[in-house]
Chains A and B, each alone.
Chain A
Amino acid sequence: MGLTHTAFMEEDVKKGFDPRLARRFFAYVLRYKGLLWSATILLFFFRISAIAAPWITKVAVDRYMNHPELPLDERLAGIHWLVLAFLGVMFVKIVTNYAETLTTQMLGQRVMHDMRMSVFRHLQTLSLSFFSRNPVGRLMTRVTSDVSALNEMLTSGVVALAGDLVTLLAAIGIMLHYDWRLTLVSFAVVPPMMLGTRIFRRVSRQIYRITRAKIARLAAYLSENLAGMKVVQLFRRERENSRRFGEYGRDLYNTHLRATLYSAIFFPFVDVMRATAVALIFWYGGYRTHQGHVTLGTLIAFISLVELSFQPLRELAEKYNILQSAMAAAEKIFGILDEKPEVLDAAQTEALPDVKGDVSFESVSFAYDAGNDVLHDISFRAKPGEMVALVGPTGSGKTSIVNLLCRFWDVRQGSVLVDGHDVRKVAQRDLRKRIAIVLQDVFLFTGTVAENIAMGDRTMPRERIEAAARAVHADGFIRSLPGGYDARVSERGSTFSAGQRQLIAFARAMAADPRIIILDEATSNIDTETEILIQDAMRTLLAGRTSVVIAHRLSTIHRADRIVVLHHGKIVEQGKHADLVAAKGMYARLHELQFEEAEAAPAAK
């Protein structure tokens, strides 16, 4: 029963008002000055028109209803005029409210779109080292819920606050105009009400956090049980786990009841306060009316005006909460925007014209974390059109070599050269446009097959996509899919077999038409038929291109112009297959172990 709910306590981040962050945020808002101004003006008129209704009633009562001296006709005509005025005010109120809600939402959505795009665009510029440090879930939150928190501050925080101020000032202004003594009396209940609100906010915020933690615990327990149902059933824990689930549920239920206790006290409390205000107005106002200082209409209007000004006062605390959460979100968002890419293009990049595909590593040492080298003094060369095979056990540094060639990371020492240009001196974009990479775990995006081959490039002509697919023998199976090239790829391409995914990746590389290809051969079981297609496709793909292949197949190894054998980040052997086998070193043993199956398998079938 070890679960403590503190473990589920989500960190409730709050931050005071930070003018620097606010300025940065409002720079986004100010891009839409037109919308901002319209929203503000509309809001002003809406709030003023809301105040006008009680005032019209007051005039009706004082001038006409409660004025027996005037002739009946005049009184009735007055009432009719006021009805018309009321109609006009109502019209203004409806129109301005509708327009104001829309413009505020438009402003909010536009700003949110811009911020989302800023964060997303910036993320695309950051280096892989950044992504290896930051979990996807956290970065995703920046683009989604943190941006929404800022939108909330804009639409229901700042704008509503401005509106509330208009209402409050107008109401108080009218009240003061008629009778300042009565105004003071009307607002006598404000201090206790504000105090009550403050206390309520504090306890309810706390209970809200506890509730959320308990909901999270319950949901986690449920989803865990659903995921591990086999284990639950195998160990006959059905009853016990149901009991525990019931216990967590009961605990949450009790917390909910506690939370409703507070609101069950608070809301009636507010009602009593409001009633007290009305009673006070009536008591003192009635007396003032009798004295002749205040008219009956004013008395009635005061009652409505006090009601109108209570709402904003009550919501002040909530607005402050929204502001605090938004500030915390802004800090996180701008934190990402301030993040600098670690692999930077040089200030003066060298142009990379027609690449021939001469790749060389010169005494390269590299570490992901300082002081922990994973590559030591690596030197090898692939002349244009040559194929270099990287061989070695897991963790020997094959992937790191690929990372450096693509310049996902920068070397610690030595240099990586493409056609004699140090990769650090050319633009990353230019470099990568010349390189295509096919990873073992092929990453497919949601979208169509064609989109995946074109890597989302809508300008790529369909003929080129199909030609690429044909060249690597992917055309056949793609055409057999429902929809052919326009067949949908589900999330991560889970509906395709490993072999089909390989072929799509080959087509993708083919369509990119690079000079250099990096290929991490798939190790997974692929049926013989597809395997033959893949072997042939590979030949086509690599023909005339420089390639660096992390090899898992014998046929690949045999064809390689050079084999680089890696162990613990060092090159232990380098040379042609036959020579290395003859040397009877590490390669010879690796070869026997790793590639025998591939040799045996086709023979067996």
Chain B
Amino acid sequence: MKGYSLFSKRLGRYKAYVLGVVASIVIVDLIGLLPPWVLGDGIDYVRKGGGDVRTFGLFAFCFVAIEVCRACMRFTWRRIAWDFSRKVELDLRNEFFAKSVKLPPAFFDGTTIGDLMSRATSDIDQVRMFFGMGLLTLFDTTTIVVTTLPILIWLNPRLTLYTTLPLPFLAVICWRIFIETHRRSRAVQEQMGDVTARVVENLNGIRVVKAYATEEIEIERFEDLSNVQVSLSLRLARIQAVFFPVFTIVLETGTLLVLWIGGSSVVRGDLTVGDFVRYTLYLGWLTGPMVGLGWTLSLYQRGIASIERLNEILLRPDPVDGASAPAATGDIEFRDLTFCFGEGRPNALEHVSFTVRAGTKVAIVGRTGSGKTTLVQLLTRLYDAPRGSIFLGGRDVRDIPAAELRKLVAFVPQDGFLFSDTLAENIGFSMETVDRAAVEAAAKAACLEEAITTFPEGYDQIVGERGVTLSGGQKQRACLARAFAADAPILILDDAFSSVDAETEDKVVANVREQGKGRTVFVISHRLSSIMDADQIVVLDKGKVVATGSHEELLKKAGVYADLWRKQQLQESLR
């Protein structure tokens, strides 16, 4: 009963809702017992030759009045039940988000956004469906069986024995059908994904396809996939097509028995026509919930699978954080730092040792993959370096809580990641409430102001997919402005100008110099002209420090650095 405890733990939080749902269902189902009764009495009245228009009116009125009461209760019932299931969804989603912001980047490296999104959407949906429709149907079925069955037995015990016997089987068959339908429709959806992927691949590679004139072959390959799609869809159709016939067989076998046994009883005078109608109506009423029961079972099964998938995230332990103590800036020391991203992977950094005095500017230079980004990610504890290898103001960064540490750091990442939000919101990302003046000052320092004036909404312009698409350089400058606005004592620029054009770069670099005064600045850059004023330049190669020194010192050494410098000078002259 592992599944049961998974659900009951969650259910416990919503006692009021559950009570409300159960109470309203019971009331609705009890009222529901009345109409067949009234109708049966009415028909017997007609049969006995009653002809008083007023009596007919009374019957009709009672019938409608009962139905109105029931409708009102049903309204309440739906409201509570839907509210309940949506509440479950909302809470689960919020828990999911709250957990994911706590998980370290290493977790995200090992998974895909698609997988996480599918947990956050379809799995949560499955759980919601169980708590909404599933539980509802379960209570509904129970109530209806408990109330209707005695009436049926009372009306005609023998008939009831025959007619209700197949009903549990109906529930089981429906459950199997629903499970099988779900399985097959998943297969169809997955195949649909393949078809879509094939189309996307073909369109993305259309140049190659055309160049090799392999259009016909592509069509053939697509046709194969499309044919599989057809056969899988028909496999689904075959199981779906079974549902109605099965339902009909059970429902109508009941009616048939009623007609046969009940009809004969009426003829013999053991049963009135009114009772006959009543009986038919009650029996019909019992069949629907059996289908529902089957459905609930399938929802339960799927719900458990989903909640287990969700728990894989929700029950993941929070990363171990440093002791809670406020941190202050100071000298930064890398002490024989060796780091790799996982067992068996090569070392990303090896025996890295150097010290950065507070308030100085250090540049890190090296080829792609030499470990530059890793170094600054370790400093900000995006990944955790081994204890005793990175110190800030004399304290091991592992002892400083990540949030405290990051308060001291303003980071400009390589990829220029911005949120689909207004520019002001993006730049003021670090502020609790966006201070427009500070945002504007930061944008100005990042040489973004001019670009902003060209946007129709200025600072309120939404950027990204749903708004204005920024150029690579604009994105990087926006990220730079975001870091300036954070106003932290340590500024880290991870190859932040790679897409900024040369002219603007000079201005930005000058502004960075201005903004960097009194701050500890880390610059990772391929363009050496932007780092030549650094107090210290660290040259990395394959995770090792191969040289350190100032620009002049390194030029004199005639190594990798001097070589790069000469080449870039030449490049300048070609512009």
Contacts and interface: CB of A to CB of B under 8 A. Distances in A.
Interface of A: 1-3, 7-8, 53, 56-57, 60-61, 64-66, 72, 75-76, 79-80, 82-83, 86-87, 90, 93-95, 97-98, 101-102, 105-106, 109-110, 112-113, 116-117, 120-121, 123-125, 128, 131, 136, 139-140, 143-144, 218-220, 222-238, 240-242, 245-246, 249-250, 252-253, 256-257, 260-261, 263-265, 267-269, 271-272, 275-276, 278-280, 282-284, 286-287, 289-291, 296, 299-300, 303, 393, 406, 408, 428-429, 432-433, 435-437, 439, 443, 445-446, 455-458, 491-492, 508, 512, 525, 589-590, 592-593, 596-597, 600
A110 B263 contact: no
Contact of A597 (B215, B421, B460, B567): B567
B63 A278 contact: yes
Contacts of B454: none
A406 B214 contact: no
Interface centre among A143, A286, A289, A437 (most CB of B within 10 A): A286
Interface centre among B78, B263, B573 (most CB of A within 10 A): B263
Nearest to B198: A446
Given A3-B462, A60-B259, A282-B63, A117 B406 contact: no
Interface in B401-418: 402-403, 406-407, 409, 411, 413, 417
A3 B421 contact: yes
Contacts of B101: 225, 229, 232-233, 238, 241-242
B437 interface: no
Nearest to A70: B267
Interface string B24-68: 000000000001000100110111011101001101110110111
A456 B218 contact: yes
Interface of B: 35, 39, 42-43, 45-47, 49-51, 53, 56-57, 59-61, 63-64, 66-68, 70-72, 74-75, 78-79, 82-83, 86-87, 89-90, 93-94, 97-98, 100-103, 105, 108, 113, 116-117, 120-121, 192, 195-215, 217-223, 226-227, 229-230, 233-234, 237-238, 240-242, 244-245, 248-249, 252, 255-256, 259-260, 263-264, 266-268, 273, 276-277, 280, 367-368, 380, 382, 402-403, 406-407, 409, 411, 413, 417, 419-422, 424-425, 429-430, 432, 460, 462, 465-467, 482, 486, 563, 567, 570-571, 573-574
A231 B413 contact: yes
A117 B223 contact: yes
B211 A283 contact: no
A282 B68 contact: no
B20 to A, nearest CB: 14
Contacts of B90: 249-250, 252-253
B117 A282 contact: no
Contacts of B419: 224, 228
A437 B214 CA distance: 13
Contacts of A492: 201
Contact of B210 (A1, A121, A406): A406
A165 to B, nearest CB: 19
A234 B215 CA distance: 48
Contacts of B120: 222
B184 to A, nearest CB: 12
A75 B105 CA distance: 81
The 7 residue pairs across chains A and B that have the minimum distance between CB atoms: A290-B51, A275-B67, A268-B71, A2-B422, A105-B237, A101-B241, A279-B60
A590 B432 CA distance: 51
Q: Which label, helix, strand, loop or mixed, suits the secondary structure of the A interface?
A: helix
Contacts of A144: 192, 195-196, 199
A443 to B, nearest CB: 4
B252 A90 contact: yes
A269 B78 CA distance: 13
Given A98-B245, A257-B86, A263 B78 contact: yes
A221 to B, nearest CB: 8
B468 to A, nearest CB: 12
Contacts of A94: 245, 248-249
Contact of B462 (A7, A140, A222, A458): A7
Contacts of B429: 231, 235, 237
B214 A264 contact: no
Given A66-B47, A86-B255, A113-B229, 20 more contacts: A3-B466, A76-B267, A80-B260, A83-B259, A120-B199, A224-B419, A229-B105, A231-B417, A233-B402, A265-B75, A268-B75, A269-B71, A276-B64, A282-B39, A303-B39, A428-B210, A432-B213, A436-B212, A445-B205, A593-B571
A269 to B, nearest CB: 7
Given A144-B199, A253-B90, A283-B60, A128 B425 contact: no
Contacts of B248: 90, 93-94, 97
A264 B46 contact: no
A227 B214 CA distance: 37
B249 A260 contact: no
Nearest to B245: A94
A253 B88 CA distance: 10
A268 B248 CA distance: 25
A435 B213 CA distance: 9
Contact of B259 (A86, A233, A236, A252): A86
A287 B486 contact: no
6 contacts: A65-B263, A76-B267, A79-B259, A113-B230, A272-B68, A437-B208
B211 A437 contact: yes
Contact of B273 (A296, A508, A600): A296
A290 B49 contact: yes
A117 B226 contact: yes
A68 to B, nearest CB: 8
Contact of A590 (B202, B273, B574): B574
B409 A256 contact: no
A116 B226 CA distance: 8
A238 B233 contact: no
A264 B237 contact: no
Contacts of B268: 72, 76
Contacts, number: 374
Contacts of B571: 593
B199 A267 contact: no
A240 B101 CA distance: 11
Contacts of A408: 207, 210
Given A144-B196, A226-B116, A589-B574, A456 B214 contact: yes
B78 A260 contact: yes
A446 B255 contact: no
Contacts of B462: 2-3, 7
Nearest to B419: A224
B97 A225 contact: yes
Contact of B43 (A75, A95, A263, A296): A296
Nearest to A290: B51
A97 B67 contact: no
Nearest to A57: B259
A249 B88 CA distance: 12
Given A53-B252, A269-B71, A283-B59, A223 B263 contact: no
Contact of B79 (A65, A245, A264, A393): A264
A98 B430 CA distance: 62
A220 B120 CA distance: 12
Nearest to A456: B217
B289 to A, nearest CB: 16
A261 B79 contact: yes
B456 to A, nearest CB: 13
B498 to A, nearest CB: 15
A86 B262 CA distance: 14
A219 B367 CA distance: 37
Given A98-B242, A264-B75, A290 B382 contact: no
A300 B43 contact: yes
A128 B206 contact: yes
Contact of A101 (B35, B237, B266): B237
Given A93-B248, A227-B113, A296-B46, A128 B207 contact: yes
Contacts of A223: 113, 117
Contacts of B117: 219, 222-223, 226
